[in-house]
Amino acid sequence: MDFKTQKIMGLKHGRHHPLIGKSRLEFKRDREYKEPKILHASNSATGDVWFNTNEQLFSYDHLIAVDTNTNQVNGASVSITAAYHIIPRCRNSKNVFCHARVLALVELWNVMVKPENLGWWQILQAIEKHPEEYSGKIGLIVDSDLGNHCAFNERQTPIVADYYLPDNVTIIYGSDKGGGEHLSTKAIKYCHDLASDLYRNKNLIMNVKGLALGLEGLYTHIRQWDVESNDLRPFC
């Protein structure tokens, strides 16, 4: 166990060496009369085996947490996707310094596919338009469809329609029911709360400003909210 890198390593010719094959880091919490609750899960095809979820996350150049809340509003289905972008910058022996910002707040009406997966697609489509800002490895932190994550990451299954994960993106599972020691938990919970705030603070029925027609077969209407607003909750 290499405590400096927070990895479990093998030995080759007397030196530390990544383990052979694929690995999976998974944290669970036992529940009475139920299957254990998975709090964090991520697969690796590089042989890296981590025992610290945060160190694993900080190996990415970009972390993007995405969460979608869906509610019924006067007979219509309204899904709000929130995305939060974290860039690990530098570190010392005790701290990691990051640049972070709310990336998007997108409102979709009457979604005709999985709302969560459509939210991932919306965010990935947006960042693909700015490759110069998202170079390197991207960890996409989500809290749904865990059973398909391996197939998504291996590009065997599309996330929506015929759209597969971009080559530089890896899906990571995080739950808002985990502890604050997991950055994946904090990021997903923050996105969940951002989306919930929009339902509470805005009258989605009476306020039609910025509402545009959607894409046929996917959703009927779309609206993007201002992510530079000063009344967004702080990340903490």
**Domain that residue 197 falls in:** 60-224
Residue 111 lies in a domain: yes
Q: Please give the mean pLDDT across all residues of the chain.
A: 88
Residue 43 lies in a domain: no
Q: How far apart are CA 134 and CA 103, in angstroms?
A: 12
Q: What is the CATH number of the domain that holds 78?
A: 3.30.420
Q: Is the pTM of this model over 0.85?
A: yes
Question: What is the pLDDT at residue 198?
Answer: 84
Question: What is the pLDDT at residue 11?
Answer: 84
Which pair of tokens denotes residue 10?
């093998």
Residue 48 lies in a domain: no
Q: How confident is the model at residue 94 (pLDDT cuts 50, 70, 90)?
A: confident
Question: What is the pLDDT at residue 155?
Answer: 94
pLDDT of residue 205 exceeding 90: no
Burial zone of 162 (CB within 10 Å; 0-12 exposed, 13-18 middle, 19+ buried): exposed
Average pLDDT estimate for 40-62:
81
pLDDT of residue 49 exceeding 80: no
